[in-house]
Amino acid sequence: MVKIGVIGGSGIYKIEGLPSTEISVNTEYGDVSVFVAQVDQTEVYFLPRHGLGHSVPPHLVNYRANIRALQGLGADRIIATNAVGSLNPDIKPGTVVLVDQFLDFTKLRKSTFFEEGNVVHTDMTYPYCPEMIDVAYNVPTPFPKRKGGVMVVTEGPRFESAAEVKAYGMLGGDVVGMTSIPEVVLSREAGMCYLSLAIVSNFAAGLQTEVSHHEVLDIMDKLNNQIQTFIVDLIKAMPEEKHCNCPRRA
């Protein structure tokens, strides 16, 4: 049976209309609540990154426990949603960017499973699964999608300054968010393919007058049902066998 993990970001706390059972998964990094559901012949493991009540800020998410829990359940692909701001005037709010690269500006997070005594240098040339990106791009949606893009990931929980946004754009960033790192890195270390649905909720600082979390939640609320439907359609469209070149770990 195909097993896929789904990590819901800001505004995505469940998949409506999909019956699920809550279980607790014990990992060496802590216990994780996971909602188990089924889509056709695919077993789906859903977890809300920030908790059901959005109580966990991005810099305090227990990323290692989340990824280890999905790995322990047997998931070998992860679909994650990430609320982001646009660094590019051509990428408007309401667009979903299927990012394929990142720039890491996080500072304090535990970002690897490999610590003292276990030195491993994981290849991150292409961190986001190209096969999953292709499948997602070809699934019809009522909202615009952009194939490929660079996500700048910051520590948070504050938003970025206008000067930072300008610098990130000069470095080649397309969108900016706070949660794809270390998720994508840990997923690669665990041998799982990872797809980010980077949902543009606003223009970043300096490209509009001010940025607020209320604005983020407002656009996410408007897109919520469409994004949930997209995730289910994407799960149905995912091939049973992998044909990507994402590195595997034993």
Integer Rg of the chain from CA? 17
Separation CA 185–CA 128 (nearest Å): 9
154 pairs with which residues across the strands?
105
What is the model's pLDDT at position 204? 84
CA 238/CA 186 separation, integer angstroms: 21
Place of tokens 């970001």: 9
- Dist. CA 102–CA 173, nearest whole Å: 8
Residue 217 CB partners (closer than 8 Å, separation 6+) = 10, 11
d(CA 62, CA 109): 9
- Tell me if residue 70 falls in helix, strand or coil: helix
Give the number of C-alpha atoms closer than 13 A to the C-alpha of residue 184, restricted to the C-beta side. Answer: 29
Give the pLDDT band (50/70/90) at residue 4.
Answer: very high
Side chain identity at residue 155, one-letter code: E
Indicate the pLDDT class of residue 208, thresholds 50, 70 and 90: low
Nearest to 12 by CA among 157, 225, 165, 204: 225
Domain 2-237: give its CATH code.
3.40.50.1580
Cis peptide preceding 127, ω within 30 of 0:
no
- For the segment 160-188, what is each residue's pLDDT rounded down to a tens digit? 999 999 999 999 999 999 999 999 999 99
H helix or E strand, kind and range, residue 68: helix 63-72
Domain assignments of the chain as residue spans, ordered by start? 2-237
Give the CB-side neighbour count of residue 247, counting CA atoms within 13 A: 15
The per-residue pLDDT for range 59-111, each reduced to its tens digit, is: 999 999 999 999 999 999 999 999 999 999 999 999 999 999 999 999 999 99
* The model's pTM: 0.93
pLDDT digits (tens, 9 = 90+) for 184-200: 999 999 999 999 999 99
Amino acid at 133: I
Tokens of 119: 């030195």
List the one residue out of 192, 49, 167, 168 whose CA is nearest residue 103. 168
* pLDDT at residue 138 is higher than 60: yes
Q: How far apart are the first and last CA of the chain?
A: 19
Give 250's pLDDT tier (boundaries 50, 70, 90): very low
Strands 101-105 and 193-203, sheet pairing = unpaired
